[in-house]
Structure 1
Amino acid sequence: MSSSSFPLDTAELVALYMQAIFYGMGVVTVSYGLRVLMWNREGHFKGKDSVNWIMVGATLAMFTIATMEIAFGFQHDLDAFINYKGPGGPIAEFSKISNWVNVMKTVDYAAQTFIGDAIMVYRCYVIYERNWMVVAVPVILWLAESACGWYVVYIESTLHTEATLNQERLVPFITTVLSLTLAMTTMTTGMIVYRILKINSAWSSQRVTRIGNYRLTRIVRILIESGLIYTICVIVFFCTFLASNNSQYPVSDVTVQIIPISFTLILIRVDQGVAVENPSAQLTTISKPITFTLRPTSGDAGPDVSLASPVSRSHFPVNHSDGYMMDDMNSDRDAWKKADHFDAIP
């Protein structure tokens, strides 16, 4: 579809419609995500010392940005279709790239990706036992992506001409932002999945109960599926941008709504998975009762399996959250390791 068959004014109307749909999804998922972060499954407040306020703040910030994005889009459509009476009609109004609404929508995109990608790096950092050396490359990519994104905002605010995102000065920096975003998200997701699969393999080699294998496998699937939502949006945006197609506007606007959705979906699915666990169906028979721990070492932490005395079923923490993956759900900095310390049923 050429830009002439999908004019700019039509693209902006489609963008507002698509944003409204995904914003509604965001209201539901963010509300549920905040419930997971701040209240337990019994409906009791976790307490100010148990809530991860950094993740709560990040969730609220992303939702605020998503709200501002749809508000700016609505204001822009009102300006173009109702208030503007000059030559060129709505397309002329939308083409004013340095218009404050256009600039603020770019600010929203830059800020949303800045927060969303920072959380991905943070999760990778937590999974690798807060080893900065492991996440050095993702951090560099994230900083470079953010710098280019904010420079795009600067250029757009100073052009003062009629143009689209494919304006000559903007193309190299937007291309760089999207390329770095894809590289960083792919790398961090891959590193997290590799780490979890490595622990999963170690569990299997020691014949530990299947509850651990089940949870780790489920976490990997959740990460991949939720990450793909964001990654696919960025890929589609990248392709439409390179093709100079006006459909890039609806896709970029939807991406701003998708980031908080994909983030909170991880929290929701982990919480729901824990709530419906049936421990009696997940336990496997082992020859001896064992104790499983993850040892914090400078290298790759493998499982430490040792003999222990038999324990009763009441000692098995069947309802603990998947804190070993989701530091978001627990303010304890070593929660993801502590949550994996359990006594198996003989």
Structure 2
Amino acid sequence: MLTAIISKASFISLCIETFFYGLYMVLFVICMYILVYRKDKNAPLNWPMILATMALFSMSTVHVVVDFVRGLRAFFSAPSALAYYAEIWDGLSIFKQALYATNNIVADGLVVYRCYVVWGRSLYVIVVPVLMLIATTVCGYLAVYNFSQVHPGDNVFASNIAEWGTALFSLSLATNIIVTTLIATRIWWLARQASTTLGHRHARKYHNAVAIIIESGSIYSACAMTLLILYVHRTNAQYLVYDSLAQIMVRTPL
């Protein structure tokens, strides 16, 4: 009975992640087209955005492939799917956690970079977000390291993993809320100035940008909050959100 539940949950999780990956693939192609071909003729290529976008897409792709491989091993090679998924210290499992942590850090870093650009490349504005990003990095990789230190019978809620994992989710969520607010506030202020000097029609594009940024940030924040709540309450339903969030988080900075 338990094996059947694990099988269904794993299959559903993989389907959801694949669905979001398909959406992200379309968004990635559009984003790269805009960055490379739709820029101003005399403007140089935005290499930080291009490289970060390619890195995020590459890691998201590998993440999906790893989940497929783990699924094949669990249901076709391992004596028991339940036993296989319980071995969180397995090399492929640790690699998957490292991919998630790295993807999370790069995605958050790209959002912080966007904030830096929107605020006229002011370092003072991003001091706190950068410190939070560093803390997120430390917590993320310590959580990954502790996956290799667990003992048979332990799970993802083991204390040495849960402490750093909870900190990772919390810091990433807080960073995105703060940075999204900073970006939206800056664009709103620019819209107000444009409205005063050029009229409301010219400010409309700024209002649209604010709406898109808030909407994008809200999607990630809602998913991250859901994951955090489920993880803190130690429910295995967090796996469904966790795998999906690996694909959702990379859509926020684009």
TM-score by length of 1: 0.69
Of 111, 116, 124, the match for 1:120: 111
Larger Rg: 1
C-alpha distance in 2 between matches for 1:116 and 1:234: 13
C-alpha distance in 2 between matches for 1:83 and 1:46: 54
C-alpha distance in 1 between matches for 2:251 and 2:13: 17
Match of 1:69 in 2: 63
Match of 1:161 in 2: 152
Shift of 1:262: 3.0
C-alpha distance in 1 between matches for 2:41 and 2:106: 25
C-alpha distance in 1 between matches for 2:97 and 2:38: 37
Match of 1:250 in 2: 240
Q: Does the residue aligned with 1:158 lie in a helix, a strand or coil?
A: coil
C-alpha distance in 1 between matches for 2:4 and 2:230: 12
Of 41, 45, 66, the match for 1:51: 45
Match of 2:215 in 1: 225
Contact 1:69-1:108 within 8 A present in 2 as well: yes
Tell me, yes or no, if structure 1 residue 129 matches structure 2 residue 120. yes
C-alpha distance in 2 between matches for 1:10 and 1:217: 44
Q: Say if 1:61 and 1:13 are closer, same or farther in 2 by CA, change over 3 A.
A: same
Match of 1:176 in 2: 167
Q: Say if 1:6 and 1:81 are closer, same or farther in 2 by CA, change over 3 A.
A: closer
- AA aligned to 1:81 is F
Residue by residue over 1:112-134, the C-alpha shift from the partner in whole angstroms, topping out at 9 and shown as x without a partner, is: 11011001111111122111111
Shift of 1:67: 0.7
Q: Say if 1:193 and 1:70 are closer, same or farther in 2 by CA, change over 3 A.
A: same
Contact 2:191-2:204 within 8 A present in 1 as well: no
Shift of 1:73: 0.6
Contact 1:107-1:150 within 8 A present in 2 as well: yes
- AA aligned to 2:36 is M
TM-score by length of 2: 0.93
C-alpha distance in 1 between matches for 2:239 and 2:69: 15
Q: Say if 1:163 and 1:7 are closer, same or farther in 2 by CA, change over 3 A.
A: farther
Tell me, yes or no, if structure 1 residue 142 matches structure 2 residue 136. no
Contact 1:25-1:261 within 8 A present in 2 as well: no
| Percent identity of paired positions between Structure 1 and Structure 2 | 28
Contact 2:111-2:253 within 8 A present in 1 as well: no
Residue by residue over 1:12-63, the C-alpha shift from the partner in whole angstroms, topping out at 9 and shown as x without a partner, is: 222111111111111111011111111128xxx958x722122111111111
Contact 1:65-1:108 within 8 A present in 2 as well: yes
C-alpha distance in 1 between matches for 2:209 and 2:194: 15
Q: Which runs of 5+ in 2 are unaligned?
A: none
The count of residues paired between Structure 1 and Structure 2 equals: 253
Q: Which runs of 5+ in 1 are unaligned?
A: 265-346
- AA aligned to 2:214 is I
Match of 2:203 in 1: 213
Contact 2:3-2:81 within 8 A present in 1 as well: no
Contact 1:26-1:261 within 8 A present in 2 as well: yes
Of 23, 30, 33, the match for 1:32: 30
C-alpha distance in 1 between matches for 2:4 and 2:130: 38
**Counterparts of 1:311-330 in structure 2 under 5 Å?**
none
Contact 1:23-1:257 within 8 A present in 2 as well: yes
C-alpha distance in 2 between matches for 1:141 and 1:53: 24
* Aligned residues: CA RMSD: 2.0
- AA aligned to 1:252 is Y
C-alpha distance in 1 between matches for 2:193 and 2:185: 12
C-alpha distance in 1 between matches for 2:36 and 2:153: 47
- AA aligned to 1:83 is S
Match of 2:253 in 1: 263
Q: Does the residue aligned with 2:121 lie in a helix, a strand or coil?
A: coil
Contact 1:121-1:188 within 8 A present in 2 as well: yes
Q: Does the residue aligned with 1:260 lie in a helix, a strand or coil?
A: coil
